[in-house]
Amino acid sequence: NRRGRILSVNNTCMPQVADAAKAMTPAIDAVQAVVSAADHLGLGFSAAPRLLSKGQGPQQITRLDYPDISREEIRAQLMLLPIRRGDARLVWNFQIHTLDERHVYDFTVDAVSAKVWTRFDWVSSDQYRVYPLPSESPNHSTPLPPVDGRKLVVDPADSSASPLGWHNTGSSSFTIMRGNNVHAYQDQEDNNQPPGSQPSCGSSLSCDFPISLDQPPSSYTAAAVANLFYWNNVIHDIQYRYGFDEPAGNFQVNNFANGGAGGDNVRAEAQDGSGTNNANFFTPPDGSRPRMQMFLWNLANPDRDGDLDNGIVIHEYGHGISIRQVGGPSNSSCLNNNQQPGEGWSDWFALVYTAEAGDKGTDRRGIGTYALGEPTDGDGIRTQPYSTDPASNNHTYESIRGMAIPHGVGEVWGQALWKVYWALVNRYGFNPDLYDVSAGAGNHRALLYVNEGLKNTSCSPSFTQARDGIIQAAVDNFGGTDVCLLWKTFADFGLGVDAVSGGANSTNPTNGFQVPASCQCEPLPVVDAGPDENICPGDTAAIGTSALPGHIYNWSPGGQTTAQISVSPPTTTTYTLTATTACGAAQDDMTVFVGDGTGGLDENFEGGTTGWAATGLWHLANDSQCATPNPGYSSPLNAFYYGQEGACNYDTGGANSGELTSPLVHGITSESTLSFDYFRVIENFAGGSFDRTEVDIVTGNDSMTVFTLDSTDASNAAWTNSSPISLAAFAGQSIRVRFRFDSVDAVANGFPGWFIDDVVVTGTSACGPGNTPPAVTITSPADGTTVVEGRVISFAGSATDAEDGDLSSSLGWESNLDGVIGAGRLFSAALSVGTHTITASVTDSGNLDGFDAVSVNVQANTVPSVTINSPTDGATFTQDTSITFIGTATDAEDGDLTAVLRWLSSLDGEIGAGGSFSTSALSVGTHAISASVTDSGELAGSSAVSISVIEPGGPADTIDWNTSATTSYSNQDRAGSISIEDGGATFFMRGNRWRRTVETFAVTPFTVIEFEFQSASQGEIHGIGFDEDDTLNNGLRIFQLFGTQAWGGAIQAYNGQYTVGNFTTYRIPVGAFYTGSALRLVLVNDKDVGTLNNTSRFRNVRIFESAPNVSPLDFNLVTTGPYSNQDISGTIAVEDGGLTFFMEGNRWRRSDQSFIIAPETMVAFEFMSTSQGEIHGLGFDEDNTLSNGPRLFKIFGTQNWSGDIDWFQPYGGGDIGTFKTFVIPVGRFYTGSGFRLMLVNDKDAAPGNNSSRFRNVRIYTLE
């Protein structure tokens, strides 16, 4: 216990763990181990870890900085990892804090092979919709059934009991309800196996499933499994706090090298099909998996699910708690006798876990009231409800007479414990936080005493033996203050010291109501002098603890009469405190160690043995010849020797042992080490551990072995240095060094033995000459560093102090411009613009300051400039067509950033990267395309365009004129008739009729209208088109198809091909002539004079998009030559990887490749000019002359040349410097074969700075 007294012993230690290790010397260092872990995680990194410091002790504690993979400093140390019985490995242990802050991985990496043995994630975030602690059932929740009264519980795992959370075993993680402590699943088929399909909580571990309590349980199986999984884990975690841990035999797959067998998480079977109206828990020995079976209950309508009656769940788990601990975890047969209290322990756990603030001992508490369909204060499954009110429960010890075995007998024990529980709660209060055992509330004490009492209870116990186990637990905890309270409570129940059990199988006990004589007086004396203290000469120590009522105190030496005093002894002094009450007296002592002004130890024994204590064969030897073949000592002439001079052996005729203990050593810090020289020649025998040579560090009543060799280790037969052994674990304490020799047996003891010399403990005197200031070093950034505004800077530094050790974590960081910017050894921050003096400083415990400073210059940052060169804003493409994206990015500080451009689509997400790429994978729809880049100062620049991707193939659905209404157009709709024919497919007009649709349409450069036209009698104008505002003043909008009047207000490209009486199909690329966002379709059947018998029929009218589905010309492949005699001067160039043809000056070029121009041939391209010339255009020509009629489509220029076709949508002055899309139905103007593409950038007069860029030129057939 905390006073150093052994109360009981449990041993689950791996014996001779060092012997089980394959190696005790690392073959790889911590840097290599961390790199192996990074490889294991699949993390990329640009450099190796940076070594900050490396310890020299057996743990070789190493500090590393590895910002590529870990947000925090990595601290690695050597440890032994038990693998299996008789097998342990030397490993490096460390943690990696991932950059996304989602994981803290704890690694063990083999220090010889670099193999990753374990990886645990210390971070978890799971949630469960359940009836949570302390709710007993749906009937104990708000709102009441059938409304769902469950609550969502987030991240409930206790890090001490479940360090990996509830869904991870260390080697595997699960999204189903399975983990290290329990695997919950439904077993409706009663095959004791998980079903093929189990409810998944998803990658976010959200175990949130619906429930309808007015439906049969089969409708909410997943919710029942979740509730069962939650409660099994909660009980595991809470009970762990009270001692049901790995050595005690708890239920876990992975015991984390904490003892116990492992491999035995609970199989929790919900809605088990093997029975009804019951439940059970099968508990095999430690290392074998238990099984909990929860049944349905058919005593209410609809049936009720035992998985939701948390009291029953806790009861069943309670069987596992008691069976594993009574008689030890390897014996599952200790609770089979007639008087065994197992059922009572289980009921009691159910009552305690579901107790709530405001409860009273006199309340009626039944077990299983929900499952039985009873009210919450019903009797439950027992003969009487649990209560301290004798009117509700009148059990005493003798009540087991005639009771059913084991349940009836058990409920009597449960009532005894329930009275004990309330005695403690009434004295110490109730705390709803069951995890905080140290708070010492009454319910905490009850749980602790009962759980520890299980371990103290013998196999096949009677009630009196179970009582004694609990009393023994009370003796050892909380200063034994509750022993008499428990005795009195048990005695009131008939379990006093005079109670007679009748034996383990008797059900005929005799009540006893007497308490021990020691409890017949109150208060019993309780005394605690407090822990030992270390002080320097002249300092004062406060000793003792708080006073208790009814106690009289006396200190010796000194005679003080208060429970707490202050003392200032000149030398080390032991103080004894006596506490006296009316019932007697008790004593306790403690020691105040007074330092001698020195720290550490440096002993070569040349000055004698003052302060050293020796037993057995240990003695101070002078120039002994037993250290053969190297006589003498590490430092002549004295050394301590375990052996017999003359005989030069340790053969005394029997087993022998002895200890050599140093004087008290002060001033131990985290940097202190122990080293010594030794000469050791003993028996060499691999078959067992004999002739042990060990070194312990002793502190007060405790000790730790830090060095051990035995007969399995070769003798050195030469003076050898131990190498420094870290004493960091004892920092701040005073220690003694103890050398132990143990022959173990009387065999083969004729060897020289063991010599010790030059014992050195490094330390700093706590009472030394004075304080020195800390040393501070800034390791990052370097002095004079220059960065751009917005860039996050990594700051790193260290601080060491001769007296206080490593103070790096206490560093404070400031900027002369920004003030406080961070703290600790490592952090990141951005600074304002300007020249900063960065200071890292720290203050030690003696109030001395240390600092370091560097200069950092932060330059102003500007936003990067991003330009999208292709595609143009508003461009339209057919699905599956390859679209080329071209852009540039420049930054004033970082230069050209084009290579790191990031391209995004509002529909498809990330689509590419860099300055140029092509894709045909864009989905159908209107895409907002953005190109963006972030500079080194975290400023982002972007540019955006909108493009449309349309489906390939035929036109859209035919307009149904029955549903697509029309109205009069302008003032032209004057006389005649209109009608709808062919079920809505045909619009008929007679006379002087101009009609427009109510519906509007978007006309893009690739919009096409297709229809069939027929006229039985010619009028003046027959046509079709689109207009935006019901007037005739918006330029050419109507495509004239037929008529006696060649109207100048119409586009004549499609006039003249119609024959009266026949239906003729037209396909007009409207967008080539004009575009708009809200245009109405206009139908014209015009005749102003004469008989109005002219007619028009428009049938199967379809409006659709038809973007080119061919790749653009590559001008690296489609070469050009001079056209006619016009290619005079200037420059040409191919840009954008062949997609753009650039011309400046007076240049006329034609392609070397020829093309066939058919009636449906189209050309689409993007055009840009930065300076206007006389003629800018594109066309086709068959013979390299200008004599074949108009061939060139002029889109821009100052000259009105009769030899060209002025295109309907020219490039305007407002378009200068931007790309504009053009679509031209070439085949409507001329056709033929052998045509060469013609590109014109004409200007005859100086200066010749006019320019043209033709980009993404596509020649295709209108479909």
Catalytic residues: 316
CB 90 within 8 A of CB 22: yes
- What strand order describes the sheet that includes 50-54? 50-54, 62-65, 74-84, 87-97, 104-110, 116-121
Within 8 A by CB and 6+ apart from 705, the residues are: 694, 695, 696
The number of C-alpha atoms within 13 Å of 208 and in the hemisphere containing its C-beta is: 10
What tokens does 1187 get? 């004599």
Give the span between the Cα atoms of 1242 and 1177, in whole angstroms.
Answer: 9
b/e map of 668-682 (b: 16 or more CB within 10 Å)? bbbbbbbbbbbbbbb
Within 8 A by CB and 6+ apart from 241, the residues are: 158, 160, 161, 434, 435, 437
- Number of Cβ atoms within 10 Å of the Cβ of 1089: 8
Judged by DSSP in three states, 1102 sits in strand
- Number of Cβ atoms within 10 Å of the Cβ of 1111: 16
Give the span between the Cα atoms of 787 and 935, in whole angstroms.
Answer: 12
The DSSP-derived string for 78-107 is EEEEEEETTEEEEEEEEEEE-TTSS-EEEE
Q: Using a CB cutoff of 8 Å and minimum separation of 24, what contacts does 423-426 make? A: 423/485, 423/486, 423/488, 423/489, 424/482, 424/485, 425/361, 426/361
φ and ψ at 983, to 5 degrees? 65, 25
> Where are the alpha helices (H) located in 954-1001, listed in sequence order?
none
Give the span between the Cα atoms of 1142 and 1159, in whole angstroms.
Answer: 29
* Of residues 1167, 1030, 1160, the one with CA closest to residue 1108: 1160
1204-1206/1220-1224 β-pairing: unpaired
Give the span between the Cα atoms of 502 and 492, in whole angstroms.
Answer: 19
Q: How far apart are the first and last CA of the chain?
A: 92
Within 8 A by CB and 6+ apart from 24, the residues are: 18, 90
Residue bearing tokens 């009720």: 304
Judged by DSSP in three states, 765 sits in coil
Residue bearing tokens 């004009």: 1074
* Of residues 411, 235, 406, the one with CA closest to residue 310: 235
What tokens does 1016 get? 């039985």
φ and ψ at 800, to 5 degrees? -125, 150
From residue 623, alpha-carbon distances to 397, 554, 638, 658 in Å are 75, 53, 6, 21
CA torsion through residues 880, 882, 888, 894, sign: positive
User: Could you tell me which residues are beta bridge partners of residue 695?
Assistant: 707, 739
CB 320 within 8 A of CB 251: yes
What tokens does 191 get? 């095959």
What tokens does 896 get? 């050209």
Q: What is the 3-state secondary structure (H, E, C) of 1031-1093?
A: CCCCCCCEEEEECCCCCCCEECCCCCCCCCCCCEEEEECHHHCCCEEEEEEEEEEECCCCCCC
Give the span between the Cα atoms of 192 and 917, in whole angstroms.
Answer: 58
